[in-house]
């Protein structure tokens, strides 16, 4: 039987994996955000089939926001490098 969790999880998984492949061809993206989305879709689909509907939908919404993060901020590694403070060493002023 096909449920809304199957459709939502499969659609989110296909879109995120196609975005990963598209970015993999052009640049070197980090893998861990896409793995988190895939594992969240897997767990949410299993949970939805087992009867935990509200928790499965919460996981799928969280995975959707993680996908939006991957879509809007493609270079996760460079996000932390913008606000680096200069290193202060004793004796150098």
Residue 13 predicted with pLDDT over 60 = yes
**Both structure tokens of 28:** 């070197």
Compute the distance between CA of residue 44 and CA of residue 27 in angstroms, rounded to an integer: 30
Q: What mean pLDDT comes out for the span 30-44?
A: 84
What whole-number distance in Å separates Cα of residue 56 and Cα of residue 41? 9
In the numeric block, the tokens 């089939």 are attached to 49
Return the pLDDT at 76: 57
- pLDDT digits 0-9 by tens, 60-88: 888 888 888 777 776 655 555 555 555 55
Predicted TM-score (pTM) of this structure: 0.67
Rounded Cα gap, residues 77 and 29, in angstroms: 9
pLDDT digits (tens, 9 = 90+) for 19-31: 888 888 888 777 7
């Amino acid at each position: 039987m096909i449920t809304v969790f199957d459709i939502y999880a499969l659609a989110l998984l296909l879109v995120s994996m196609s975005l990963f492949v598209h970015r993999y061809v052009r640049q070197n993206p980090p893998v861990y955000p896409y793995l988190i989305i895939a594992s969240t879709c897997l767990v949410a689909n299993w949970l939805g089939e087992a009867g935990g509907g509200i928790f499965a939908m919460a996981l799928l919404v969280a995975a959707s926001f993680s996908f939006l993060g991957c879509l809007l901020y493609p270079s996760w590694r460079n996000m932390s490098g913008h606000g680096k403070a200069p290193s202060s060493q004793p004796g150098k002023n």
